[in-house]
Amino acid sequence: MRTDFIMSVIAANLQAVHQRVAHAAQVAGRPADSIRLLAVSKTFSATEVEAAFEAGQHAFGENYVQEALDKMAALSPLRAQLEWHMIGPLQSNKTRPIAEHFDWVHSVDRLKIAERLSAQRPQNLPPLQLCLQVNVSGEASKSGVAPDEVLPLARAIATLPRLQLRGLMAIPAPVSALEQQRQPFRALRLLLEQLNRDGLQLDTLSMGMSDDLEAAILEGATLVRIGTAIFGKRT
Ligand SMILES: *Cc1c(COP(=O)(O)O)cnc(C)c1O
């Protein structure tokens, strides 16, 4: 496909997603700028990331370490203007490149991973921003910490140097009705509120994807992770 065609499609898709976010925020009685848009670029090329960047998007989510590193290398002249978020499952033997190259990690679900990220985060970089992935009811994937294990894990991680614990992330099983979509997002928000009452200082609810961003925003999402609605279907 021609690059200018890809650019115009991605720019139009991004605009439509911003409109969905703004509308959902309005329905929820929240300011639209209280919700950040993370463009999930997994399986798409550096060209497509650059097209989204040209259309004003700066934060990108990736699931696979090597694929992300290749894109970062291709886009290295833009590094200072891009924010890279790791949102995929984590393996403890692959934490070093994550600690060295990403700005955020959303999928932390055990202490060992956080300890390695803490030890491997270079001193000259800002703290790595973390979310704990929680297995709220009916999780699509097996990753994620159980809700009743989140508080001790969060307390332990909050003491580690070179990390900043920002909040919680979830990937609920797909369902189509809005009311059903809202339930796990509500559970995640209530959990975050409970953690903050218990003395943590968390400001991020990473929840909502292309098919359920409205439900997530109604339940307080501060960051939605959108792939398909921006870049198209993944093959
Ligand atoms: C792929 C992925 C997304 C984006 O999903 P879409 O339905 O394409 O918007 C969001 N979050 C995570 C963790 C993902 O793996």
Q: What is the pLDDT of residues 151-203, one digit of tens each?
A: 999 999 999 999 999 999 999 999 999 999 999 999 999 999 999 999 999 99
* Ligand 1 touching residue 224 (CB < 6 A): no
Task: Name the domain count of the chain.
Answer: 1
Residue nearest ligand 1's atom 13 by CA = 87
Q: Which of 142, 225, 231 best tests ligand 1's pocket when mutated (most atoms within 8 Å of CB)?
A: 225
Q: Express each pLDDT in 32-58 by its tens digit.
A: 999 999 999 999 999 999 999 999 999
Q: Are 132 and 154 in contact (CB under 8 A)?
A: yes
* Ligand 1 touching residue 42 (CB < 6 A): yes
Rounded Cα distance between 97 and 66, Å, is 9
* Ligand 1 touching residue 227 (CB < 6 A): yes
* Top-confidence residue, 141 or 112: 112
**Residue 95 φ/ψ, nearest 5 degrees:** -80, -25
Question: What is the percent of the chain where pLDDT is above 70?
Answer: 98
Q: Report the CATH number at residue 82.
A: 3.20.20.10
- Report the mean per-residue pLDDT for the chain: 96
**Residue 198 C-alpha to ligand 1 middle, in angstroms?**
30
Residue 165, C-beta contacts closer than 8 angstroms, at least 6 positions apart: 130, 131, 132, 154, 157, 158, 200, 202
Give pTM, 2 decimals.
Answer: 0.97
- The answer to whether residue 139 scores a pLDDT higher than 80 is no
- Domain range for residue 88? 3-231
* Ligand 1 touching residue 108 (CB < 6 A): no
For 166, the enclosing helix (H) or strand (E) is strand 163-169
Rounded Cα distance between 5 and 47, Å, is 12
Residue nearest ligand 1's atom 6 by CA = 227
